[in-house]
């Protein structure tokens, strides 16, 4: 049933209103050169977009590779710092025990110089204690710096006295033992050195 137009006069025939053209229908092609230009512009836009995407991908890839390298460097530095911190802690702890080791050695020397059997028996117990302590510390790389009779080495020995002899450059006497942990000296040996006359 047709709808009446309210504005239409009663004696005029009712006409159907024009419906809008279906938007899904394609417009009739205009002349060919303009359509060709539109297609070329679209290809150029796609090429530009592709180039931009490739550039962004390369930048992100470089950024990712840099981040991975930075993280690996961080892990390496962190591991080195932890290892160095541990080694420094071991050296400091052992260095703090050196006076006790010196006192145990002095006690042994003093007890062995007496004729008292009780003192000698006590010295044996102190020796066992000192040996146990030294063996335990050796697990951490603790070792005595060789000195007596060795060639003087300022990297290991601290010369506090000199004596003129025919064989210069030798350690003649050790006043205090030197120690190292692995390759690091924690206390230099205090020594008397022979020199030329």
What does the pLDDT look like over 157-179, one tens digit per residue? Answer: 999 999 998 888 899 999 999 99
pLDDT of residue 32: 55
CA–CA distance from 108 to each of 139, 156, 177 (Å)?
24, 26, 15
Q: Which pLDDT band, with edges at 50, 70 and 90, does 30 fall under?
A: low
Q: Which residues contact 114 (CB under 8 A, 6 or more apart)?
A: 120
Domains of the chain with CATH codes: 143-197 (2.30.22.10)
What does the pLDDT look like over 56-100, one tens digit per residue? Answer: 999 999 999 999 999 999 888 888 888 888 888 999 999 999 999
Q: Residue written as tokens 């390496």?
A: 76
The whole-chain average pLDDT of the chain stands at: 82
pLDDT of residue 45: 84
Q: Give the number of other CB atoms < 10 A from CB of residue 195.
A: 14
pLDDT of residue 24: 45
Q: Which residues of 146-164 are buried (b: 16+ CB within 10 A; e: fewer)?
A: ebeebebeeebbbeeeeee
Q: Which pLDDT band, with edges at 50, 70 and 90, does 34 fall under?
A: low
Q: How many CA atoms lie within 13 A of 136 on its CB side?
A: 11
């Amino acid at each position: 049933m047709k709808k009446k137009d309210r504005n239409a006069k009663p004696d005029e025939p009712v006409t159907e209103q024009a419906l809008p053209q279906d938007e899904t229908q394609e417009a009739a092609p205009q002349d060919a050169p303009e359509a060709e230009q539109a297609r070329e512009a679209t290809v150029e836009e796609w090429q530009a977009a592709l180039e931009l995407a490739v550039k962004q991908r390369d930048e992100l890839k470089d950024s990712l590779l840099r981040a991975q390298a930075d993280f690996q460097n961080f892990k390496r530095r962190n591991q080195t710092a932890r290892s160095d911190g541990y080694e420094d802690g071991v050296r400091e702890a052992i260095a703090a025990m050196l006076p006790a080791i010196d006192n145990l050695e002095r006690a042994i020397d003093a007890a062995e110089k007496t004729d008292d059997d009780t003192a000698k028996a006590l010295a044996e117990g102190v020796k066992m204690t000192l040996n146990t302590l030294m063996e335990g510390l050796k697990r951490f790389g603790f070792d005595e710096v060789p000195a007596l009779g060795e060639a003087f080495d300022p990297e290991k020995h601290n010369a506090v006295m000199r004596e003129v002899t025919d064989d210069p450059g030798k350690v003649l006497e050790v006043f205090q033992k030197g120690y190292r942990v692995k390759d690091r000296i924690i206390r230099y040996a205090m020594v008397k050195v022979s020199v030329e006359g």
